[in-house]
Amino acid sequence: MPTAAVLLRVSAVLAALALAAALAPTPPAAATPDYDPNRQFFTRLTSDPQRLALSADGTRLYGSSYLHDGPGILTVIDATSGELVAEKTFAEGVGDIEVSPDGRRLYFTHGGPVFLDECFISEVDTSTLRVIRDLKVGASCQ
């Protein structure tokens, strides 16, 4: 008959093996791509976005487009359905774009009243697309 010490060691080894098995990475499920070439979206946009940012939860795609010395357009697309959610024009332009980690705010660069004489970052509420504040960050956005 095994002693208590032997049983304790065997139990400890079995517990360690069970823990190691639980923590070991599992192989991925059958590799089936989510992309379906037959599922394409054709969304009409006012302008072609030059820069894109995806929300942290992957549900919204934000695009920025601008014309030199002209207004810029912020485009919001539902990333799941491919539908256009909103387009909003900003007189000073819409340059580089980034979404906050919580998805509640959007930030984009733009010039001042005379293009490229100043550089601002606008903080925008993603639910209303209203500018919360403008932060002057430099003399040029380039």
Q: What is the pLDDT of residues 47-89, one digit of tens each?
A: 777 888 999 888 999 988 876 666 888 989 888 888 889 999 8
Kindly report the average pLDDT of the chain as a whole number. 77
Maximal CA-CA distance, the chain: 91
pTM for the complete prediction? 0.65
- In 3D space, the residue among 77, 59, 62 whose CA is nearest the CA of residue 122 turns out to be 62
CA-CA distance, 46 to 125, in Å (whole number)? Answer: 21
Q: pLDDT tens, 111-120? A: 776 655 788 8
Q: Is the pLDDT of residue 45 over 80?
A: no
Provide Rg for the chain, Cα atoms.
26
> Quick check: 71 and 91 in contact, CB under 8 A?
yes
Q: pLDDT tens, 94-127? A: 888 999 999 999 998 887 766 557 888 889 999 9
